[in-house]
Structure 1
Amino acid sequence: MLPILLGLTIGFGLPLQTAINSKLRKIVGSPLLSSMVSFTVGTIFLTLATLLLTHGLMINLLLFKQQPWWIWIGGLLGVIYLTGNIVLFPYLGSVQTVIMPVVGQLIMSMLIDNFGWFDSPQHTLNLVRLGGCALVFIGVIMAVAAASLFKSRRKQFDTVSKSPHRFLWQLAGIFTGMLSAMQTAINGHLGVVLASAEKAALISFLVGTVALWLLVIIREHGIHLKPAFSTSHPWWIWIGGIIGALFVLGNAFLVPVIGTGLAVVIVLFGMITGSLLVDHFGWLGADRILIEPIQLLGIIVMLAGVILIKLF
């Protein structure tokens, strides 16, 4: 029961991180710059947490020879996923930018579970688990997209969905979601190899941080954070990285225990529920959008899917 609660908690925290980083993005004027700040803060937090919990940061250098190369790239996949969503948003709109990666996450997580890829715990894919996966996806659509299809936002949704090469952008969204599920599995295995979920999360964040610093230096032609230090801005604009660090740390702990597929689905359930609550109450400066009854029904459908996947 504890792993389930952990997955729901870290999933619930992700929309809070998104709201915080969105506020920071408005202040600094760059999504890449706000992501870089978030990853940097997360790396510092994980460094301190790792020192406190494991009393050291060293890893056995022989692991670089003994272990496959892919165990070190989880953070890079996370950056590609994050940057991909930023790139996809103008072409797919907010609704499909959520849904398409979810499709990729569900597909890849079930494949990883079925075949035991990335040395994840193996859970054979059967019709019941497939049915649970389908219910989760249907619930996501109901929670994220249904209200847009029946209200004034429909015109915007339809306009975005007719963008040139829409199908290719949708495939790109699915691909980024698959990378996210791969990152979850890789970080879980890295935690086993290092015998420390804390060190696995730290390595993942450190790799992502270095990649984002390079992207910002190349793309933004400098690091312009002065506006963010104004005393008029709330203190919480700096803690998005801590929430993100706890998210990666939680996933690194969960995968060896419950498997990639269930970890992804439980976190997804927490994320969708959290995002609806953030919108409904307008937390952390987010625009307030009241929850619709069909969205609540979508949450119930998702829960039914989670139960099927958990039981079978």
Structure 2
Amino acid sequence: MLAMLIGLTIGLGLPIQTGLNSRLRRSVGSPFLASLASFTLGTLFLAVVTLLAEHQLGFSPNVFTTAPAWIWLGGLFGVIYLTGNILLFPKLGSVQTVIMPVLGQILMGLLVDNFGWFGASVARLTVSRVLGAGLVLGGVLITVALNPWLENHHHPVTTARGSHKGWWRLVGVFTGMLSASQTAVNGHLGLVLGSSLQAALTSFLMGMLILLVIVLATRTPFKLTQPDGRPNPWWMWVGGALGALYVLGNVVLVQLVGTGLAVVIVLVGLMAGSLLIDQFGWLQAPRHPVTLVQLGGLLVMIIGVAVIRLL
């Protein structure tokens, strides 16, 4: 029950973070600059929390020589996933930009558990796990894609044009696999460091440094504007803290239930959070009333999680 609560909560917070960062991007004018600001504030937030909870920020330097090198890749995987979504949206459209990474996340989560990659506990593929993962993916398809298909009387994949969109779909699946890998890597990092907070802080710090290099290399100008002609809302700066809690929650969740189930529980929360934002128009987003089809898709996802968890 604790794992479900953590996963659903951080999943609900993820689309809210996306909305906050989208508003921040409008003010700073660059997705990379917005991401850098978000990662920087998230790093500072985690540093303060870690200092208050554990009274230290550092860890033994022996970790660099005794632990496998891949435990430091979580931040890099997170940045690639974030950048991949920025690149995918104009190439594939909103529907496939959601579905392709989700497919990669579910696939990688099952593989990590089955083979014990990234130091994960082995949980072999079973019929119930494959069926549950299929139901979760089917629920995502119903929630995200079925409504546009019914409204437009054609399959939503036709929204993406160009002869190379098949390669972009593979990029989407790949970035989703890196997202699930980040979850597994950070989970093991938490075990190595003996602290979930230290693991989340390390991952965020690495991501911040990588984004800083990208911003400096692209010579992105630092600026802050008021795109609506009004003072910028204070809440657009909160995305970093929500992202930090998301990474921290994943570190804890992987240690409780493994990578595969952690991924699908968070996906249910993510879809639920997205529907709430659409329904109520939070964070200055346009309102799109939730339909029975979307609620049905969410129910299918919940059933999929139950199949994985209980059978």
Q: Is the structural similarity TM-score above 0.5?
A: yes
Which residue in the other structure is 1:62 paired with?
62
In 2, are the aligned partners of 1:74 and 1:184 still within 8 Å (CA)?
yes
- The separation in 1 between residues aligned to 2:271 and 2:44, in whole angstroms, is 28
Give the 3-state SS of the residue equivalent to 2:125 in structure 1: coil
| Residue matched to 2:19 | 19
Deviations 1:125-172 (A, max 9, x none): 1111100000000000000111111225x6794553332211100000
Q: For residue 220 of structure 1, report the CA deviation from its aligned partner.
A: 4.2
* 1:203 aligned residue: 202
Letter in 1 for 2:102: V
Q: Alignment partner of 1:188: what SS?
A: helix
Change (3 A) 1:111 1:218: same
- Residue 221 of structure 1: how far off its partner (Å): 3.2
- How many correspondences in the alignment? 310
Encode CA deviations 1:96-118: one digit per residue, 9 max, x unaligned: 00000000000000000111111
Amino acid aligned to 1:218: A
Asked whether 1:291 is paired with 2:298, we answer: no
Report the equivalent of 1:250: 249
Equivalent residues in 2 for 1:192-271 (5 A)? Answer: 192-225=191-224, 227=226, 232-271=231-270
Of 185-194 and 17-26, deviating more is: 17-26
Correspondence for 1:122: 122
User: Residue type matched to 1:77 in 2?
Assistant: F
Alpha-carbon distance in 2 for matches of 1:225, 1:196: 36
Which residue matches 1:279?
278
Q: What percent of counterpart residues are identical?
A: 53
C-alpha RMSD over aligned residues = 1.6
For residue 256 of structure 1, report the CA deviation from its aligned partner. Answer: 1.2
Distance 1:76 1:297, change over 3 A: same
TM-score normalized with structure 2 length: 0.96
Unaligned residue ranges in structure 1 (runs of 5+): none
Q: How does 1:1-80 map to 2 (within 5 A)?
A: 1-80=1-80
Query: Which residue number in structure 2 is paired with residue 137 of structure 1?
Result: 137
Segments of structure 2 that go 5 or more residues without pairing to the other structure are: none
Residue pair 1:216, 1:223 contacting (<8 A) in 2 also: no
TM-score, normalization: structure 1? Answer: 0.96
- The DSSP-based 3-state class of the residue aligned with 2:218 is helix
Structure-1 separation of matches of 2:220 and 2:300: 46
The 2-side partners of 1:245 and 1:282 are apart by: 24
Q: Does the CA contact (< 8 Å) of 2:89 and 2:97 recur in 1?
A: yes
Cα distance change of structure 1 residues 183 and 282 upon mapping to structure 2, 3 Å threshold = same
